A and B are shown apart, each in its own frame.
Chain A
Amino acid sequence: EVQLVESGGVVVQPGGSLRLSCAASGFTFDNYTMHWVRQAPGQGLEWVSLISWNGDSTNYADSLKDRFTISRDNSKNSLFLQINSLRIEDTAFYYCAKGLYYRVLTGPLDYWGQGALVTVSS
């Protein structure tokens, strides 16, 4: 059974930083592109970033690329998202998601974690 479990959701002040983690199990982690998607309370889904199965390729939403960094550790079946210079508008649930296709960079997201809540507030 595929499982994705996010952690690292916190309350943080504007200007601060945090690192989200996602622990993956139930599939061969280093064969799939992984994604982060966020959802502000009561709002729609916003794709944030992807990283290829081997970590060689990354992509970001244009509005976020300067402050967000995605990474992965295939030896630990883990995905990460570093967010710097946090803003009020970064308040959201952050979901980790698995790409559908074997060793294909872009594709639909077939499994999602439960999400980690990041609250940016002074």
Chain B
Amino acid sequence: DIQMTQSPSSLSASVGDRVTITCRASQGISNYLAWYQQKPGEVPKFLIYAASALQSGVPSRFSASGSGADFTLTISGLRPDDVATYYCQKYNSAPLTFGGGTKVEIK
């Protein structure tokens, strides 16, 4: 099965910073990648699909890119409301594996 590896596992940045999270697949998955945000104590929220397409209602400070095996999620202008754990998920075929998560905190 394809493994999904996120890095870093956690990060601390200042309000206004540009934050980048990386997700790597152990094999190519084309652009069949989604990103989710889970705030503390909340249910995961769907952010991005097809590696770079923003779900309706997601703020434009979120962007994502990648294809094949390497993907990134970028938050341009970190806000306190962005404190959360972010997960990537592959969906080219089952199993629909999640990455281990990246916890984003405010410095």
A residues in contact (CB < 8 Å) with B: 35, 37, 44-47, 50, 59-62, 95, 100, 105-115
A47 to B34, CA, bound (A): 13
Count of chain B residues near A, Cβ 8 A = 25
Contacts of A108 in B (CB 8 A): 34, 46, 49, 89, 91
Residues 32-62 of B, flagged 1 when their CB comes within 8 A of A and 0 if not, give 1010101000011110010000010000000
Encode B66-107 as 1/0 by CB contact (under 8 A) with A: 000000000000000000010101011111111111000000
| Residues on A with beta carbons closer than 8 Å to the beta carbon of B100 | 44
Out of A59, A95, A109, which one reaches B95, CB within 8 Å?
A: A59
Label chain A's interface by main secondary structure.
strand
Interface of B is mostly: loop
CB within 8 Å for A44 and B89 given contacts A50-B94, A62-B1, A114-B43: no
Chain A hits for B85, CB < 8 A: 44
Q: Is the CB of A106 within 8 A of B87?
A: no
Complex contacts, B98 vs chain A, CB 8 Å: 37, 44-47
Residue on A nearest B38 in the bound complex, by CB:
A45
Considering the complex, give the chain A residue whose CB is closest to the CB of B92: A106
- 6 A-B interface contacts by CB (under 8 A): A50-B96, A106-B92, A108-B34, A108-B89, A109-B44, A109-B89
Whole-angstrom distance between the Cβ of B9 and the nearest chain A Cβ: 10
Contact of B43 among A46, A100, A112 (CB under 8 A): A112
Q: How far is the CB of B69 from chain A (nearest CB, A)?
A: 18
Query: Contacts of A114 on B, CB cut-off 8 Å?
Result: 43
**Are B43 and A95 closer than 8 Å at their CB atoms?**
yes
Asked if B96 and A100 make an inter-chain contact with CB atoms under 8 angstroms apart, the answer reads no
Chain A residue, CB-CB nearest to B6: A44
